[in-house]
C-alpha cells in the first residue's frame, strides 16, 4: 500500500462474519483483533461503549487477527471463539476471552468454554485437531490483504480508521463517515 492510499477491506462484510447489530445499520465497524493483545483488551470496553451510544445505528463485526509470534495463546483463543460460533455462542465467548485475557492457556480456555455453556470435551478435541484453524487463518489473510499491520485495526464502512480509538474519537469518526457517505449518496 503506497503512502497516502486509503486502506479498504479486501473482503466485504458478509454472513460468514461475526456481527452484532442490525445488518442494515448505516455504519459497520469492523475490528481485526487478537484476544491476547493488551491494546485489544483496552479497546474492548471502548467498543462496548461505542455500541451502546450508537445502538441500532451501528453493526459491529469482529475478525480474528492473532499475532501468534507475540501472543502464544492468541491462536487457540481465536479457535475457541470459532468453536463457540458454530455452537451459537460466539459473542459470550468473545467477551469472556477479553475479560480473562491475562489467563488464556488451554486449561483456562476450557474453563471459559464451560462458563459460557459449551461442550468442553468437544471443544477440547476441536482445539487439539485444529478444526477451526483454517477459519482463523482466513480472517488473518483477509486482514493482511486489507492493510492490517497491528491490532486492533478498525474499519468504518470498509475504510481503515487510522486515528486513535478512544470513545469520543471513534464515535466522531463513525459519525463523520456516516454523514459524508450520506451526503455523497452512498
> What are the φ and ψ backbone dihedral angles of 156, each rounded to 5 degrees?
-110, 115
Q: 34-51: per-residue pLDDT in tens?
A: 999 999 999 999 999 999
Q: 73-123: per-residue pLDDT in tens?
A: 999 999 999 999 999 999 999 999 999 999 999 999 999 999 999 999 999
- The pLDDT score that the predictor gives to residue 178 is 80
Q: 117-159: per-residue pLDDT in tens?
A: 999 999 999 999 999 999 999 999 999 999 999 999 999 999 9
66/50 Cα distance (integer angstroms)? 23
Q: Residue 176 is part of a domain; what is its CATH number?
A: 3.40.30.10
Contacting residues for 158 by C-beta, under 8 A, at least 6 apart: 8, 9, 12, 13, 28, 30
Q: Is residue 101 part of a domain?
A: yes
Q: Is residue 50 part of a domain?
A: yes
Q: Is residue 68 part of a domain?
A: yes
This prediction's pTM: 0.94
Of the two residues 180 and 51, the one the predictor is more confident about is: 51
User: For the chain, what is the domain count?
Assistant: 1
33/132 Cα distance (integer angstroms)? 17
Q: Is residue 1 part of a domain?
A: no
Instruction: Name the residue range of residue 75's domain.
Output: 18-181
Q: Is residue 12 part of a domain?
A: no
Amino acid at each position: 500500500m503506497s503512502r497516502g492510499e486509503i486502506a479498504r477491506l479486501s473482503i466485504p462484510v458478509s454472513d460468514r462474519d461475526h456481527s452484532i447489530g442490525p445488518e442494515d445499520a448505516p455504519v459497520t465497524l469492523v475490528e481485526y483483533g487478537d484476544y491476547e493483545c493488551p491494546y485489544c483488551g483496552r479497546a474492548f470496553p471502548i467498543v462496548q461503549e461505542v455500541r451502546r451510544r450508537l445502538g441500532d445505528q451501528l453493526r459491529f463485526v469482529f475478525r480474528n487477527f492473532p499475532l501468534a509470534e507475540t501472543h502464544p495463546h492468541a491462536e487457540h483463543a481465536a479457535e475457541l471463539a470459532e468453536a463457540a460460533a458454530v455452537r451459537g455462542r460466539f459473542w459470550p465467548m468473545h467477551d469472556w476471552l477479553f475479560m480473562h485475557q491475562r489467563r488464556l492457556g488451554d486449561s483456562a480456555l476450557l474453563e471459559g468454554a464451560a462458563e459460557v455453556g459449551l461442550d468442553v470435551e468437544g471443544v477440547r478435541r476441536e482445539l487439539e485437531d485444529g478444526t477451526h484453524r483454517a477459519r482463523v487463518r482466513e480472517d488473518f489473510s483477509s486482514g493482511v490483504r486489507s492493510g492490517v499491520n497491528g491490532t486492533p485495526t478498525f474499519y468504518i464502512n470498509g475504510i481503515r480508521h487510522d486515528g486513535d480509538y478512544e470513545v469520543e474519537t471513534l464515535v466522531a469518526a463513525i459519525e463523520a463517515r456516516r454523514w459524508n457517505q450520506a451526503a455523497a449518496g452512498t
